[in-house]
Structure 1
Amino acid sequence: MVTAPTGQIGSQVVQDLLAAGAPVRVVVRDPARLAPGVAERVEVVAGSHGDPDVAATAFDGADAVFWLVPPVVAATSADEAYSGFARPVLGALRAAGRVVAVSALGRGTPVAGRAGHVTATLAMDDLIASTGVPYRALTAPSFMENTLRQLDSIRERGVFQGPYRPDNPAPLVATRDIAAVAARVLRDGEWTGFAEVPVLGPEDLTYDRMAAILSEVLGRPVRYEQQVPGAADTAIGQARIDMSLAKNDGLDNGVVRTPENTTPTTFRQFLLGAVSHNGA
């Protein structure tokens, strides 16, 4: 059972599960937005997985549920966006065989309690785990895809910007690798209880190093500029700022890298694929 199947992670989870021959059900607000050829190969439940009636139908009889909270731009707080979305459907989640969710790194670090979206995500993990359903939280750092939001500006001006320190090495992961881990864990019926599964990408990178790799891939000089964030206009905007400040203070650096939590796609490989797809 896959939620958010039209998003950048959920859509890849669906494709990975189908490629493995697994039977798949999806819950989606607009079935017309499913990738070409997917609707004919999956069972479709129309609606929001935050609706208790829809969730009860979608999750009923599922061996495993892939859980992903969609963006809730109108939420009055990060906690409402995450736990507030999950709380009405806890009964349906509890009835599922197992639950696998996309979460965030940071548990146990000194800044975990003041990390905005990450703090709220970890609280949602605790809420779902408290139901007793077997639960795996895939804890990830920042996504490589975030860079693509500035790709046109990078090409035109040779600059990409962000709130992060330029010299702070931290893990970075491609969503394709998160999806691959999710599909594998969903198909593994042997685990029980609650645990975090870190998904760290292949290496720690500074933003200055990312700029150097962008320069090499694009064939033109690219530099990184840190922008110190000011006050936000909304609680959700402030949660994003708080998350970035916590990342500068080591939020993503609390997990020891191992072969098991290291995923294969390098930033260079990701960029080469993205530039080829979007046009050089």
Structure 2
Amino acid sequence: MIVITTPTGQIDRQVLDIVLDSAEAIRVIARDPSRLPPRVRERVEVVQGAHDDIDVVTKAFAGADSVFWLVPPNPHAKSIQDHILSFVRPVCEAINSQGVKRVVGVSSLGRGIAKNAGQISAIFAMDDLIESTGVNYRSLCMPGFMENMLWQVEPIKRQGMFFYPMSGDRKVPHCATRDIAAVAAELLLDHSWSGQDSIQVRGPEDLSCNDMAQIVSEVLEMPIRFQQVPGEAYKATMMQHGMTEAWAQGLIDMAAAVDRGIYNAEPHTPLPATPTSFRQWCEEVLKPAVLD
């Protein structure tokens, strides 16, 4: 039995799409089952509710061999740490009470290195708590998602620019969510692994924001440039769009940590890089979004 905790989320729905083709029994936790595609509703068992509810996760984890675990973001949270831990504490209790064998979680590069890194620091606290249960655990350690560029579609359209509070020359890895999903699905379908370990999920190249602007320009066939913005200005803009001060500050702290090199500090593992290049992702995902 495989359990997926946020089946309509950006990564989880792609994981689910892969494992649906297997012979495994699948269970999902969904606040609103009507949002699930018909193909999913016909194939999986649905536990309705939220996975920060101990009763819901206990029911969902009963008889589970493997769990795909991800804490959904909440830009309206008053505390990043409290938001993350409100999901992690119930799941740890349910892991123990229901005898879950394996958990695959979404984490970040930079563990053991990042300090005061906003949302990233909170995610590392999540890893520590899950590992404290003794469950077999694989944390998928990745950099920023290529899909984050979709937040910049409007300024790309209107101004020919995108913005971030980070140096334009800092080269960092990037990965596509499709590749994260592929790695996660492979682990969920593999019943042979044990112990606790981290798996780096890196794209095939490290790129700076200036590099990305050049690639976006070539794909869109129009000039696009990157503009670094001061952290406080970026924070104010995010709050104008409804984020809490805590969540917006976390994004600033995270960007500052990335700019200091937390994604570059760990040596690359011998595992191959994930296949999707930024150029390919721009052709297949960003360009249709901009031209829509």
Identify the residue that residue 154 of structure 2 maps to in structure 1.
152
| 1:192 to partner: Cα distance | 1.7
Q: Distance in 1 between matches of 2:287 and 2:72?
A: 28
| 1:34 to partner: Cα distance | 1.4
Is 1:171 paired with 2:173?
A: yes
| 1:26 to partner: Cα distance | 0.6
**Cα deviation digits, residues 64-95 of structure 1 (max 9, x gap):** 00001112344332211212321123121232
Q: Which residue identity lines up with residue 98 of structure 1 in the other structure?
A: R
**Cα deviation digits, residues 139-171 of structure 1 (max 9, x gap):** 110000011111232123210111121000100
User: Quick one: which of 243, 249, 252 aligns to 1:241?
Assistant: 252
SS of match in other structure, 2:263: helix
Identify the residue that residue 267 of structure 2 maps to in structure 1.
256
User: Quick one: which of 55, 59, 62 aligns to 2:61?
Assistant: 59
SS of match in other structure, 1:252: coil
Q: Distance in 2 between matches of 1:279 and 1:114?
A: 34
Q: How does 1:91-240 map to 2 (within 5 A)?
A: 91-94=93-96, 95-109=99-113, 112-230=114-232, 234-240=245-251
Identify the residue that residue 45 of structure 1 maps to in structure 2.
47
> For residues 155 and 259 of structure 1, do their structure 2 counterparts lie closer, same or farther at Cα, with a shift above 3 Å needed?
farther
Q: Distance in 2 between matches of 1:61 and 1:121?
A: 26
Say which is worse superposed, 140-149 or 17-26, in terms of deviation.
17-26
Q: Which residue identity lines up with residue 151 of structure 1 in the other structure?
A: V
Q: Distance in 1 between matches of 2:201 and 2:14?
A: 16
Identify the residue that residue 8 of structure 1 maps to in structure 2.
10
> For residues 165 and 181 of structure 1, do their structure 2 counterparts lie closer, same or farther at Cα, with a shift above 3 Å needed?
same
What's the RMSD between the two structures over aligned residues?
1.6
Does structure 1 retain, via aligned residues, the 8 Å contact 2:220–2:287?
Answer: no
TM-score (norm 2): 0.91
Does structure 2 retain, via aligned residues, the 8 Å contact 1:6–1:35?
Answer: no
Which contiguous aligned blocks of 4+ residues in structure 1 show a shift greater than 6 angstroms?
Answer: none
Identity of aligned residues (%): 48
SS of match in other structure, 2:8: coil
Say which is worse superposed, 268-277 or 93-102, in terms of deviation.
268-277
Q: Which residue identity lines up with residue 258 of structure 2 in the other structure?
A: K
Q: Which residue identity lines up with residue 75 of structure 1 in the other structure?
A: A
**Cα deviation digits, residues 92-117 of structure 1 (max 9, x gap):** 123211110111111132xx121111
Identify the residue that residue 239 of structure 2 maps to in structure 1.
none
| 1:276 to partner: Cα distance | 5.5
SS of match in other structure, 2:72: coil
Q: Distance in 2 between matches of 1:120 and 1:258?
A: 24
Q: Distance in 2 between matches of 1:279 and 1:84?
A: 36
Say which is worse superposed, 235-244 or 203-212, in terms of deviation.
235-244
Gaps of 5+ in 1: none
Q: Distance in 2 between matches of 1:106 and 1:25?
A: 32
Q: Which residue identity lines up with residue 249 of structure 2 in the other structure?
A: Q
Q: Distance in 1 between matches of 2:132 and 2:286?
A: 43
Identify the residue that residue 33 of structure 2 maps to in structure 1.
31
Q: Distance in 2 between matches of 1:221 and 1:67?
A: 40
Gaps of 5+ in 2: 237-243
| 1:210 to partner: Cα distance | 0.1
| 1:261 to partner: Cα distance | 4.7
Identify the residue that residue 269 of structure 1 maps to in structure 2.
280
Q: Distance in 2 between matches of 1:20 and 1:273?
A: 26
